[in-house]
Each structure stands twice: as C-alpha cells, then as structure tokens.
Amino acid sequence: MIVAYQYKLRLTLQQTIEIDRWLSMLCAQYNYLLADRFDWYERNRSPVNACPLVCHLPELRDNPDYYSQKKTLLNLKKTHPWYSEIYSQVLQDVVKRVKVTFDRFLKGDSNGKRSGRPRFKQRSRYRTFLYPQVKEGCLVGNLVNLPMFGKVKFILHRPIPDGFKIKTVSITKKADGYYLTLSCKDETVPTIKPDFNPESITGIDVGLKEFLTTAQNETVAIPRYYRKAQKRLKVIQKRVSRRKKGSNRRLKAVKQLGKQHKKVADKRKDFHFKTANNLLKKYDVIAYEDLNVKGLAKTNKAKSIHDAGWSNFLSILQTKAAKLAGGSFPRQTLRKCWVINYCSQRL
C-alpha cells in the first residue's frame, strides 16, 4: 500500500531562491516539450471535411514520444549548461508529465475519458518537482538529503512508521510556504478484506443539510467553512481586482488570497480526518453510496457540494480504514476496520 506523508520545509533564503530557480527552468522545459508535441500534432493531422483539393503537404515527422524527448535532455544540457545543475531524474519526470498529459488528450485515460487540450503552464502554475527515486537513508531525523540540492530541514510533526520504504520525494510550493511530500510503501497491509464483527456494520448517506447520516440515525453537522469565509474572501478578491496587473501590490494581494483559500481547505481537511476517525472507532464495516459527485457538481448546488468535499472525505475514509486493517500503524485501537462500496457489494 502506498501512503503519503507531508511536512513543511524550513528553508534558508538561498534554498528558497534555488527551488524557485529550478521551478522556473522546469516550467520552461515543460512548455517547450508540450509545444514540440503540438507541432507534431498539427503537422500530421488533416481533417477530411476541411482538406482542399490543392494544398501544401507538410513534411511528416516522427512522433515525439517519451523516449525520443528524453534523449533531447542530453543536448539540452550542452546548449543550456545551467540545466546541468538540476538532477537528471527530475528533468526526466517533466518528460513523463508531458507524455501523460498529451496521451489523455489524444487517447484518454484508463477509462477511455479524454481530457481537454493541454495548456501551457504559467510560471506561477508550475509548483512541484519530483524525485522518482531516492536512496535508502536519505531521511535522517528532520533532514532530508536531496540529490544535487543538498540537505533540507523540515518540521517532523509525526515520524514515519518502521518498515516503510520511501519511494518518491516531491517539493511543492504553496501559498504559505514550501512542503515536502514523501510517498511511502508498506507491504504489510493486506489486500483482502479481513474478518469483521457482523454486528458492527453501518451505512452512511452524505448530504447538504447534514454532512452525513448513519444507519443508526446519528448525524454529523456540516461545517460550511467556505460559506463562513466568503465575506473575508470577497474583500480580498476586490483588493486583487482593483490593483494594477503586474504590480507588486497586486502580487501581495494574490498571495493573501491564496493563503485565505488554503486556510479554508485545511479546516475542511481536518474536519474530514476527524470525522473518519470517529466512524472507524465505532464500526468495523462502513457502506456508502457510489456518488457521481462530478455530475452533481454541475447543478445549482455546486458551491455547497464543493464546500462539503464528499469525494475527499470518502477517499480519506477508505485510506484510513485500510491502514487500520493492516494493524502495522502506530495506533491505540486494535479493531479491524474496512470500508466497502455499497454499489459493488450489497450488504
């Protein structure tokens, strides 16, 4: 099972400048590779209903796939020597991002659903770079050793359990600072449903008047964090719109708006975790309806649905139930808890 642990970084001024520099270069490379893909796409397609009888046939070129674009990184480091300061696997991950994005546009995802036309990234929109592989022992106390970057200090608010293997490391820039995300693998969590007490079963129904209602008629009030913060958000948004684009005063207002939105998101996430913990302490099996949240969000209740965050809550509930079922996590409870999908397995 793969789980993620996120910690806030304590960077020096020089490290902050270096991370911003890396993100700027990676963003430029992402846009260049995406433009190369679009160039091939425009040259090699010809709609039948719009093709004139006499037209110029462009010279066809090979498809710039993942491997051919990865080979261009060697020439990139020769023509632009400053890219040699970035770890090679971090650069290769940019090529992978472009591949995944463009494949979803042309072929669709695993379910066959196609995404819209990929857009070029603004510098402010490119916020994360990833180390796909790290060596064992890269984490020592509250320091993480990143290749070609150095040791970085972070706030270790919770330790990583014994037996977990760090698979990937990513650095993310958010409104209130920089964060370290460790993707860890635990092979001790079972992949089959464990035994459970048949008398400790419930079903939950999420809603907008009450956040959820259990089969035993227990309700959890909906907090409406976004609705309560709307007045403050409106003031800051007006401040952003009134200031001149490109000015430092507008940039400060945008950062302030981002921090306020993140504050709302953090409150909602904390509420989801606490609600999931309370349910898993009471019940061994929790059934829920497989909602089409994306479809419901297109109705006139979209703002309230996004404010409730049903999808995030159900995802957290599944993950925490699987952790408790494995019994390898440092928790006081010994109950075996599991979440099942109500539509796939009728109780």
pLDDT digits (tens, 9 = 90+) for 296-323: 888 889 999 999 999 999 999 988 887 7
User: Do the domain assignments include residue 248?
Assistant: yes
C-alpha 58, offset from chain centre: 40
| Mean pLDDT value of segment 140-165 | 92
- Nearest Cα residue to 125 out of 34, 234, 48, 10: 34
Q: Say yes or no: 14 and 66 in one domain.
A: yes
Instruction: Calculate the average pLDDT of the chain.
Output: 86
- Nearest Cα residue to 100 out of 33, 42, 55: 33
Return the pLDDT at 193.
56
Return the pLDDT at 111.
78
User: Which residues are registered as beta bridge partners of 159?
Assistant: none
Whether residue 118 has pLDDT greater than 50: yes
d(CA 123, CA 39): 22
User: Is 292 or 28 the better-scoring residue by pLDDT?
Assistant: 28
Q: Say yes or no: 154 and 233 in one domain.
A: no
| Mean pLDDT value of segment 260-280 | 95
Residue ranges making up the domain that contains 333: 201-341
Distances (CA, A) of 47 to 2, 105, 285, 310: 44, 17, 54, 42
Q: Say yes or no: 46 and 156 in one domain.
A: yes
Q: How many CB atoms lie within 10 A of CB 258?
A: 15
Residue 82: partners with Cβ closer than 8 Å, 6 or more residues away: 25
Q: Say yes or no: 44 and 19 in one domain.
A: yes
Report helix, strand or coil for 310: helix
Q: Say yes or no: 217 and 126 in one domain.
A: no
Q: Say yes or no: 244 and 113 in one domain.
A: no
Q: In total, how many domains does the chain have?
A: 2
Q: What is the residue-wise DSSP string for 219-273? A: EEE---HHHHHHHHHHHHHHHHHHSPTT-HHHHHHHHHHHHHHHHHHHHHHHHHH
Q: Say yes or no: 183 and 212 in one domain.
A: no
Sole residue written with tokens 């261009």: 72
Residue where one domain finishes, among candidates 145, 161, 187: 187
User: Do the domain assignments include residue 321?
Assistant: yes
Whether residue 252 has pLDDT greater than 70: yes
Half-sphere exposure of 140 (CA within 13 A, CB side): 8
Residues shown for the chain: 347
d(CA 336, CA 254): 46
- The helix-helix angle for 248-282 and 225-242 (nearest 10°) equals 170
d(CA 153, CA 7): 10
| Contact status, residue 339 vs residue 286, Cβ threshold 8 Å | yes
pLDDT band of residue 332 (cuts 50, 70, 90) is very low
Strand order in the sheet with 285-288: 219-221, 210-214, 201-206, 285-288, 338-341
Q: What percent of the chain has pLDDT over 70?
A: 86
Q: Which of 106-110, 217-221, 329-333 has the highest mean pLDDT?
A: 217-221
pLDDT band of residue 272 (cuts 50, 70, 90) is very high
Max Cα-Cα span within the chain: 76
Q: Say yes or no: 107 and 176 in one domain.
A: yes
Structure tokens at 244: 């001149």
pLDDT band of residue 329 (cuts 50, 70, 90) is very low
Whether residue 337 has pLDDT greater than 60: no
| Mean pLDDT value of segment 224-242 | 95
Q: Say yes or no: 228 and 321 in one domain.
A: yes
pLDDT band of residue 336 (cuts 50, 70, 90) is very low
Return the pLDDT at 43.
77
